[in-house]
Each structure stands twice: as structure tokens, then as C-alpha cells.
Amino acid sequence: MQIDWKRNLYIAWSGCFFTGASFSLVMPFIPVYIEQLGAPTDQVEFYAGLAISVTALASALVAPIWGSLADRKGRKLMMVRAAAGMTFTMGALAFVPNVFWLLVMRFMTGVLSGYVPNATAMIASQAPPEKNGWAIGTLATGTVAGSLIAPMIGGYLAEHVGMENVFIITGTVLLITTILTIIFVKEDFTPIQKKDAIPAKDLMKMIKKPSILYGLFATTLILQLGVTSITPILTLYIRELGGDADNILFVSGMIVSVAGVSAFISSPFLGKIGDRYGNQNVLMGGLVLFLVCILPMAFVETPFQLGVLRFLMGFSTGALMPSINAIISKISPKEGVSRIFSYNQMFQNFGQVLGPLVGSTIAAGFGYSSVFIGTAGFIVINIILSFVNFKGTFGKKIQYK
């Protein structure tokens, strides 16, 4: 069976776009919705943070299970499962009677998630090696674009059609994703019995350079920790810098989104550069640029200066996860590529859980500016780790198998 991997890429891109949008669409008004559900006024922020982090935590815990199942049953089936499951859990948020059930549904969203890593694993296994980085970078722009556009749309819809209806719209979008995936995504996959599946220990032995893989897992965790550590304090930091109180939410939204714009622009191009000159070179360059951008944020004097640095930082984030995923796809044997990606997804989710906690803790003890300095420290650790991991290969295009 001849697979049109480019068609799969474009359909998977739309699925990643809708999935990324569905997660971000509801973010602007989650605290208000929690308040509406009857949470005590002095605990709204706590429950809002919990509602966000519990999804990432649940996703991290179950990612290896879904990855193992994908290697036995196929990536397309897991993409359909994830989209269909989230259709229910996201849509059900419109009908929850209290905060407890909202947290349950958010947890179940994490349990049933996994569209993006399985789409990445599928495209990585189908794209020609010489176009792997470009394909994964292009796919990444789908999630970025959805996450970028959705918060603005979500806030507008919540104001004009009501918060409950936004959840129903989100469920509908995910239902469309499910249908598109079922009809148009093609995968030539022969199911494997559980007894015939390669055990995880043997799978790791098939990887010629496992130290690189373990280093990438650590890089992913630290990177996500660094990216999300500033999330809890960004709006407050902008207000401290003298942002106009009348449009502080709009300015904050713009400053958050502007990093996504540059990441969207740069991901496919940097993926192509990685294919030609080595993904590890692009990864290291992205980490250095991230450090150069994040550290001065502690010393800016206006929201505009912060926005410029966030825009430049987006070019680095456009290089990082696609480069990591491209290297993982080149390291991993096809028999276990979904499991390897699911392990990386687990570390990514743990980073997303730890990041806001670390950022809030630093801010409470040392002030908002210190969060950027602390984050820069984590990125320095990441640079050292990557230098050791790829020692002797920089400036070269290396073979991983």
C-alpha cells in the first residue's frame, strides 16, 4: 500500500491545529468559569492553576501506555482515540455542576489526550529521512497556530455566546478532527499481538546511542520547565512594568502570542536547515538564542521591550522541540517509535507541571524579575547537557543509526 505521507502531513496538521486550539480556546476564562461554578473567591487562582496542571500531569502518567498501544495497534487508531475522547471530555465541561467535576473532566482530558505525539510519530515514520526535520517542523506549526489563535477567539466567544457554549464549540471542533482523521489519514500498519511486541528493555537496546536519547528526554523536561515557569507571573510582571490597567489583559495576550508568531514562521525553515546541516546544531543554536532572550527580560523597563524579546525568543522555540523530535525519529527503531515519542511526551508534560510551580515559588520568594534569571539558569544547564550529549558533532551532519 503506497502511503501519501504529504497528504497525511496536511491532515495531521489540521488535527494538531484543532487540538492545540481546543486546549487554548478555554484558557482565557477558566478562572471566571471556576468562580461561576461556586469556588471560594480566595481560592479561584488555586483551582485555576490546578485545572491546568492536572491535565498535563494525567497526560504524563498515561503517555507510555498509549505509546505502547500505538506500536501494537497503529498511530492512526491512537489519533482517533485521542480526538474522540477529548470530544467528550472537553464538551462535557459545559455541563459540570461544580469545580470538582470540572477537575475530573480536565484530568480525563489528560488521560485521553495524545493526538499530537501520535501524529508526530506517524509522520516521523513515514517521511523520507532527508525531509524528516522539515515535516516535523511543519507539523509543529499546526499546534502552535492553534494555540496562538484560540485564546483571542475563546475570549471573544465567551463574551458573546457564553462560556458553556464555548465548551460545546470546542467539542464540535474535536469531533471534526476525529472525522477528518478517520476518513483521510492512511497508515499501512499490521497489528501486533501483545506477546509479540518488543519489550521496552529490548527496545532501548536497539538504539545505538541511548545516551543521546536520555539526554534529549532531560532537555525536553528542562525546556518545558523554562518555557512555562514564567506563565503564572507574566501578566503581573507587565502590570509592574507600567502596563495600562485598562487594557492589561489585551497587552498580556499580545505579548504571549507574539512568541507563537515567530515560532510559527521559523519551525519549517529551521527543520529544513536541520535536515541539511544537522538537527543537533539547530538545537544548540536555539538554546543559546533562548538564553540570550530570556535573561534580559529580568531587566526590561517597558512592556514593549518585553514583547520584542518574546518575539525573538519565539525563533528559538521554533527550533527546539522540532529538532528534538527529528533527532528522536532518527534514533528510534520503527517498531517502537510511538513508545519513544510517548516517553518524551511524558517528560514534556512533567516539565509543564513543574514549570509554573517553580516560577510561582521563585516569584514569591525573590520577585518577578528573579523568575527570568532562574529560568536562564535552567537553560544554562540545558546548554551544558546538550554540549556533553553531542560533543564532537557540532558543525557536522551526523548519522544516528
Sign of the CA dihedral running 129, 131, 135, 137: positive
Question: Which backbone phi and psi does 181 adopt, to 5 degrees?
Answer: -65, -45
Amino acid, res. 59: S
Are 314 and 262 a contacting pair, CB within 8 Å?
A: yes
> How far apart (Å, rounded) are the C-alpha atoms in residues 25 and 158?
10
- Who has greater pLDDT, 31 or 224? 224
Task: Please report which residue ranges of 130-247 form alpha helices under DSSP H.
Answer: 132-161, 163-184, 200-205, 210-229, 234-240
pLDDT for 318: 82
- The pLDDT > 90 percentage for the chain reads 40
Using one digit for the tens of pLDDT, what is the confidence trace for 180-197? 999 999 998 888 887 777
Is pLDDT above 80 for 203? yes
In single-letter form, the type of residue at position 295 comes to L
- What does the alpha-carbon distance between residue 355 and residue 238 come to, in Å, rounded to a whole number? 19
Mean pLDDT across the stretch 113-132?
90
pTM: 0.85
- Which pLDDT belongs to residue 250? 65
pLDDT band at 24 (very low <50, low <70, confident <90, very high): confident
Helix %, strand %, coil % for the chain, to 5? 85, 0, 15
Residue 393 has pLDDT above 80, yes or no: no
Average pLDDT over residues 303-313: 90
**Predicted confidence (pLDDT) at residue 179 exceeds the cutoff of 90:** yes
Nearest alpha carbon to residue 350 among 61, 137, 13 = 61
What domains sit in the chain, N to C, each tagged with a CATH number? Answer: 1-185 (1.20.1250.20), 200-396 (1.20.1250.20)
Say how far apart CA 119 and CA 342 lie, in whole Å. Answer: 11
Contact (Cβ atoms closer than 8 angstroms) between residue 138 and residue 11 = no
CA dihedral 206, 209, 214, 215 (to 10 degrees): -160
Of 261, 219, 187, 226, which Cα lies nearest the Cα of 358? 226
Residue type, 331: I
**Is a pLDDT exceeding 60 seen at residue 221?**
yes
> Using one digit for the tens of pLDDT, what is the confidence trace for 225-280?
888 888 777 777 887 887 555 666 667 767 777 887 888 888 888 888 988 888 89
Amino acid at 105: M
Where does 224-370 show beta strands of DSSP type E? none
Contact 20, 146 (CB under 8 A): yes
In the block, which residue shows the cell 532518527? 330
